């Protein structure tokens, strides 16, 4: 597996930031590995060790058709000698698999890594956490190691507790994009007393506070900023895409449209609206997700919209 000891810290200068006293750095977890980038690797690390110690030969997990997690599990499985099974939302995708693979880079990559798909309807997918559905899967597939959707469980949080290091102790604020809440939980557990963790949810809904509370031992050092989901999970706008393109042009740092793009858009807005006190030192965690750009561009092109450069 990739070496994650120290992903690099990079100082950002971006014309969109109007307050020059604020220092902004980014931790390039996206550079950990081109395929299992950022937090998805962190979340899998201890789960893979656990699966090995239980002598499991198969990993089974869940995800949408463009999921970073599906892509990461497929690749990590291949690398570590596990068979992988992806339970994918959308039974229409399974009608003509060849056609699906041509048009969907995420599933094509997972397929090339050897992942077996089980496509399920949106209704069945909603039941995925229920014991009955899991039992059915157990009948259908051999003794597997189950990784939940998005990969969040106790072992995933443990992996994300390794993101912060001695090097990051000088920052006042740590920002991260939030999906299922596993990554931010790890950050919250290892943040220093003087540090505040800000999460930017990529989706609507208020289940996240409860979810994060399950994994963390602190209540005072974190906050969710819920105004920058752009209408929901994987929803975008021209304004967001324009921002992502401009950010890359000026900094050479690519952002993904589902998570890190929204977080940075939100953070820049907060900075410009004087959310932070003078001379605040902010660290952004780049959680990766860049494999999703191609899939998003396929959709944007079909709509004749602006694409990610
Ligand atoms: C999955 C993902 C997240 C969200 O992580 P959670 O642990 O589910 O909150 C953030 N950024 C990227 C790029 C991701 O792929």
Task: For residue 220, report the distance from its CA to the centre of ligand 1, in Å.
Answer: 22
Ligand 1 pocket, 201 CB below 6 A?
no
Ligand 1, atom 4, residue with closest C-alpha: 179
Residue 2 has pLDDT above 80, yes or no: no
* Percent helix, strand and coil across the chain, each to the nearest 5: 45, 15, 40
Ligand 1, atom 10, residue with closest C-alpha: 177
At 110-159, the pLDDT tens digits run 999 999 999 999 998 998 878 889 999 999 998 999 999 999 999 999 99
**DSSP H or E segment with residue 60:** strand 58-63
Over range 243-254, report the average pLDDT: 98
Residue 3: pLDDT band (50, 70, 90) is low
Question: Taking the model in full, what pTM does it have?
Answer: 0.95
Task: For residue 139, report the distance from its CA to the centre of ligand 1, in Å.
Answer: 30
Domains of the chain plus CATH, in order, are 9-34+155-302 (3.40.50.1100), 39-151 (3.40.50.1100)
Ligand 1 pocket, 40 CB below 6 A?
yes
Residue 34 has pLDDT above 90, yes or no: no
Ligand 1, atom 15, residue with closest C-alpha: 289
Instruction: Give the model's pLDDT for residue 37.
Output: 78
Query: Residue 120 pairs with which residues in a beta bridge?
Result: 89
d(CA 36, CA 1): 9
Ligand 1 pocket, 183 CB below 6 A?
yes
User: Do 233 and 218 touch, CB atoms closer than 8 A?
Assistant: no
Residue 266: pLDDT band (50, 70, 90) is very high
- Ligand 1 pocket test target in 188, 289, 293, 295 with most atoms within 8 Å of CB: 289
What secondary structure does DSSP assign to 35-46, as a single string? Answer: SS-THHHHHHHH
Mark 264-285 as b/e (b = at least 16 C-beta within 10 Å): bbbbbebbeeebbeeebebbbb
Ligand 1, atom 5, residue with closest C-alpha: 179
């Amino acid at each position: 597996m990739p070496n994650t000891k120290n992903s690099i810290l990079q100082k950002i200068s971006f014309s969109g930031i109007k307050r020059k006293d604020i220092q902004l750095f980014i931790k390039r977890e996206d550079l950990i590995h081109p395929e299992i980038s950022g937090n998805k690797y962190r979340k899998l690390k201890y789960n893979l060790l656990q699966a090995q110690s239980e002598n499991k030969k198969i990993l089974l997990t869940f995800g949408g058709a463009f999921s970073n997690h599906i892509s990461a599990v497929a690749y990590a499985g291949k690398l570590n000698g596990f068979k992988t099974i992806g339970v994918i939302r959308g039974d229409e995708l399974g009608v003509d698999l060849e056609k699906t693979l041509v048009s969907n880079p995420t599933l094509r990559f997972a397929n090339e890594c050897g992942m077996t798909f089980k496509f399920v309807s949106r209704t069945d997918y909603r039941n995925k956490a229920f014991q009955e559905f899991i039992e059915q899967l157990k009948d259908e597939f051999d003794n597997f190691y189950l990784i939940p959707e998005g990969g969040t469980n106790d072992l995933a949080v443990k992996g994300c507790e390794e993101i912060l290091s001695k090097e990051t102790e000088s920052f006042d604020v740590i920002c991260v994009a939030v999906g299922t809440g596993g990554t931010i939980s790890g950050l919250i557990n290892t943040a220093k007393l003087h540090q505040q963790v800000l999460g930017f949810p990529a989706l609507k809904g208020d289940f996240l506070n409860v979810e994060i509370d399950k994994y963390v031992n602190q209540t005072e050092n974190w906050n969710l900023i819920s105004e920058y989901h752009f209408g929901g999970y994987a929803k975008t706008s021209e304004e967001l895409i324009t921002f992502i393109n401009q950010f890359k042009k000026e900094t050479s740092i690519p952002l993904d449209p589902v998570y890190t793009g929204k977080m940075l858009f939100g953070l820049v807005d907060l900075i410009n609206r004087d959310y932070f006190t003078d001379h605040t030192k902010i660290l952004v965690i780049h959680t990766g997700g860049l494999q999703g750009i191609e899939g998003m561009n396929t959709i944007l092109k079909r709509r004749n919209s602006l694409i990610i450069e």
